[in-house]
Amino acid sequence: MTSPAHNLRLSPADLRLDVPVGTRLQDVLFAQGVEFPCGGRGRCKGCRVKVLRGDLNVTAEEKNLLTSAELDAGWRLACRHSLTGDLELELAQWEMSVLSDESKFAFQPRAGLGVAIDLGTTTIAAQLLDLRTGNVLGVRTALNAQARHGGDIMSRVEFAMHGGQAEIQRLVREQLGQMVMELLDASASKSCSSRGNEAHSEKKLELTHGGCYEELKRVVIVGNTVMHHLFCGVNIAPLSAYPFEPTQPGRVRLSPRELGWDLPDEAGVEFLPCLGGFVGSDILAGIVATGLHESRGLMALMDLGTNGEVVVGNRDRMLCTSTAAGPAFEGARIWMGMRAATGAISAVQVEGNSLACRVIGGGEPRGLCGSGLVDAVAAGLQLEWIQPSGRMKNLTEMALAGPVKLSATDVRELQLAKGAIAAGLRMLTARLGAALEDIEQLHLAGAFGNYISRTSAQRIGLLRVPLNRVVPAGNTALLGAKRALFEETAPWDALAKRVAHVSLNEDPNFQDIYAEEMGFPGLGVAS
């Protein structure tokens, strides 16, 4: 007998779903790309939905987190409700932007196929490569299924520590296995027959679905230390408390059978080694992708994602660190913050004595993403609406466009985030006996680093190097993982040992430098 169902309609996309009675909204909406930053614990308001038709009763958590005006307008927290009747909702989140990679690089051709995966805290990007040609045969991107248990690293760790590690491991293993299968399924006929035509130009070589599967030789995964431990089944407890040192940071090799993947055992799966603390193999891959480890001059790599990592060095010496910077840069903990999705203000410019905003997808603005946040604060500084201390001048909030506003708390959150990153870069550089002006190239990795306005980043003091030395580097983690596919005996472990991990909190000067970097440069310092 079929369970009774209610109709759920989601806007701004006209999506209609039949959902069984009593289903948690969190479960339904997560499948549609909606994130739950606090893991559905009712601690944030990142999963806001607006009731357009139907009814959701106000909960105690909503009274604490949402204003009376928001509640009256129909805004609710999706994580606090289940479906009890037909419902139409407007989502404060919708799409997600996942940065892939199309870079060309030198390689030694090999037989077969390989899959490179960038396992991010928030998003996952996977590419199927023909190891003979280096060509990308397929791409898959997705929201990390673990995000339903928390949008940031420490929320995942907390969930795992309270008995959830097996569940969160199962989620990510199943998801990555499914992505690999989808890549092979989608490319089986097209990619296999085309390679057959290359080998037999006069005779078309027909390969079966299973033939393509048999050609899979390697799967290489990179990610931060928490993702490494949660995927590989390594005890997460040491990452839950100071000094936050990983249990087993090295490379981990697993068979498809161990992972529950329906693939040939010959297809080796490996997670590349971490660098220490929360700095993982995604940063190691970034070092290789940018050539930092081979550089004569001083270089830096900054990955501004859910977590913020910094590497400074050259072929002689390299230092790395991690900072808790990502939530503000990705729109979390911001009053009207959201990811880079339809309706997000992604750019803000000064026009005369007012602001002009660019909205992703056009139409009515619904929130503010990370790049828009940086632009908005930079514009406020230029107009002197925001003081170098971060205080708003004669304002309690700054109107941007439509209903979207920047609050004084938002400015403070950005100060905390950019102060941590700037302090990390400054302190690592000083430990190498150099100054910021000695950095010859600064690579900005990740989606946020790729889309942020470098001028605005300099204006708020996030980047204190000349703009002509700042290079948007794209998804360096995925590029490094692809390079690893071609190197059976690549010296990844040896390279990881060359990078020294620095715990900033152990430096007696950290708090003072952090406090200094939280301020914004005065007028005339950067523009």
Provide the CATH number for the domain around residue 59.
Answer: 3.10.20.30
- What is the mean pLDDT of the segment spanning 394-414? 92
Alpha carbon distance 286, 120 (integer Å): 13
The answer to whether residue 201 scores a pLDDT higher than 50 is no
Contacts of 307 (CB under 8 A, 6+ apart): 121, 152, 153, 224, 278, 322, 323, 324, 325, 326
CATH no. for residue 197?
3.30.420.480
* Co-location of 161 and 271 in the same domain: yes
Domain edge (last residue) among 283, 315, 332: 283
H helices present in 362-509, as ranges: 370-382, 408-431, 446-451, 454-459, 476-485, 492-498
Residue reference for tokens 């109709």: 7
DSSP category for residue 335? T
Alpha carbon distance 207, 192 (integer Å): 6
* Co-location of 18 and 166 in the same domain: no
Instruction: Give the model's pLDDT for residue 207.
Output: 34
The answer to whether residue 296 scores a pLDDT higher than 80 is yes
Q: Which long-range contacts (CB under 8 A, 24 or more apart) does 312-316 make?
A: 312/425, 312/428, 312/429, 312/432, 312/439, 313/432, 313/499
Alpha carbon distance 239, 242 (integer Å): 8
The answer to whether residue 186 scores a pLDDT higher than 90 is no
- Of 181, 169, 246, 248, whose CA–CA distance to 219 is shortest? 181
When mean pLDDT is compared across 46-50, 156-160, 283-287, 292-296, the lowest value belongs to 46-50
Model confidence at 1, pLDDT cuts 50, 70, 90, reads very low
Alpha carbon distance 452, 390 (integer Å): 20
The answer to whether residue 449 scores a pLDDT higher than 90 is no
* Co-location of 165 and 269 in the same domain: yes
* Co-location of 68 and 18 in the same domain: yes
Model confidence at 121, pLDDT cuts 50, 70, 90, reads confident
Which domain, by its residues, includes 13? 5-91
* Co-location of 134 and 269 in the same domain: yes
* Co-location of 13 and 55 in the same domain: yes
Alpha carbon distance 298, 158 (integer Å): 38
**Domain for residue 150, yes or no?**
yes
* Co-location of 85 and 117 in the same domain: no
First CA to last CA distance, the chain: 66
Q: Within a 10 A sphere around the Cβ of 187, how many other Cβ atoms?
A: 18
Alpha carbon distance 215, 266 (integer Å): 9
Residue reference for tokens 């009515």: 364
The answer to whether residue 347 scores a pLDDT higher than 80 is yes
* Co-location of 121 and 42 in the same domain: no
**Domain for residue 356, yes or no?**
no
Contacts of 489 (CB under 8 A, 6+ apart): none
Joined together, the tokens standing for residue 87 give 């419902």
- What is the mean pLDDT of the segment spanning 288-315? 92
The answer to whether residue 27 scores a pLDDT higher than 80 is yes
Q: Within a 10 A sphere around the Cβ of 128, how many other Cβ atoms?
A: 25
Instruction: Give the model's pLDDT for residue 400.
Output: 96
Residue type, 451: Y
- What is the mean pLDDT of the segment spanning 153-178? 93
CB 172 within 8 A of CB 119: yes
DSSP string spanning 57-97?
Answer: PPPHHHHHHS-HHHHHTTEEEGGG-B--S-EEEEES-----
Peptide bond into 12 cis (omega under 30): yes
More confident residue, 430 or 265: 430
The answer to whether residue 31 scores a pLDDT higher than 80 is no
Q: b/e per residue, 242-253, with b = 16+ CB within 10 A? A: eebebeebbbbe
**Domain for residue 66, yes or no?**
yes
**Domain for residue 471, yes or no?**
no
* Co-location of 83 and 120 in the same domain: no
- What is the mean pLDDT of the segment spanning 186-198? 55
* Co-location of 126 and 260 in the same domain: yes
**Domain for residue 334, yes or no?**
no
Q: Of the segments 11-20, 87-96, 322-331, 368-377, which one has the largest average pLDDT value?
A: 368-377
The answer to whether residue 228 scores a pLDDT higher than 50 is yes
When mean pLDDT is compared across 31-40, 160-169, 277-286, the lowest value belongs to 31-40
Q: Work out how many domains the chain is built from and give that number.
A: 2
Domain edge (last residue) among 283, 303, 327: 283
Rounded to the nearest 10°, the torsion over CA 391, 392, 395, 397 is: -100
HSE (side-chain half, CA atoms, 13 Å) at 384: 3
**Domain for residue 517, yes or no?**
no
**Domain for residue 193, yes or no?**
yes
* Co-location of 166 and 28 in the same domain: no
* Co-location of 133 and 235 in the same domain: yes
**Domain for residue 465, yes or no?**
no
Residue type, 485: L
Alpha carbon distance 107, 484 (integer Å): 10
Domain edge (last residue) among 42, 59, 91: 91
Instruction: Give the model's pLDDT for residue 96.
Output: 52
Instruction: Give the model's pLDDT for residue 3.
Output: 60
